[in-house]
Amino acid sequence: MARAREQAAKSEALAVTRTNGPCLVLALSLAGDSSRANKLIEEIGRRYPSDTLLQTVYLPMGRAVLEASPSDSAKSIETLRPAARFELGTDQNLQPIYVRGLVYLRAHQGQEAAAEFKKILEHRGVAPIAPEYALAHLGLGRAYALSGDHINARKAYQDFLALWKDADPDIPILKEAKAEYAKLK
CATH number reported for the structural domain that contains residue 87 in this entry: 1.25.40.10
Do 79 and 45 share a structural domain?
no
Question: pLDDT value at position 39?
Answer: 92
Do 45 and 71 share a structural domain?
no
Do 157 and 95 share a structural domain?
yes
Do 45 and 98 share a structural domain?
no
Question: pLDDT value at position 50?
Answer: 92
Closest CA to 83 of 26, 135, 143, 141: 26
Do 80 and 26 share a structural domain?
no
Do 79 and 41 share a structural domain?
no
Question: pLDDT value at position 13?
Answer: 62
pLDDT by position in tens, the chain (length 185)? 777 777 767 766 666 777 788 888 888 888 888 888 899 999 999 999 999 888 988 899 888 888 876 667 788 888 888 888 888 877 777 889 999 999 999 889 999 999 999 999 999 888 888 889 999 999 999 999 999 999 999 999 999 999 999 999 999 999 999 999 999 98
For residue 185, the number of C-alpha atoms closer than 13 Å in the C-beta half-sphere is 7
Give the DSSP per-residue string, 83-101: GGGGTTSTTTTTHHHHHHH
Residues 6+ apart with CB under 8 A from 163: 134, 137
Do 75 and 159 share a structural domain?
yes
Q: Angle between the 34-47 and 21-30 helix axes, to the nearest 10 degrees?
A: 160
Identify the domain containing residue 42 by its residue range: 1-50
Question: pLDDT value at position 34?
Answer: 87
How many helices (DSSP H) and strands (DSSP E) are in the chain?
11, 0
Please state the domain count of the chain.
2
Question: pLDDT value at position 49?
Answer: 93
Question: pLDDT value at position 118?
Answer: 97
Question: pLDDT value at position 26?
Answer: 86
Do 72 and 45 share a structural domain?
no
- Tell me whether residue 131 is in a domain: yes
Asked if 138 and 105 count as a contact pair (C-beta separation under 8 A), the reply is no
Do 72 and 128 share a structural domain?
yes
Do 39 and 127 share a structural domain?
no
Do 101 and 18 share a structural domain?
no
DSSP classification of residue 19: T
- Tell me whether residue 61 is in a domain: no
Do 103 and 149 share a structural domain?
yes
Length of the chain (residues) = 185
Question: pLDDT value at position 161?
Answer: 97
Residues 6+ apart with CB under 8 A from 112: 104
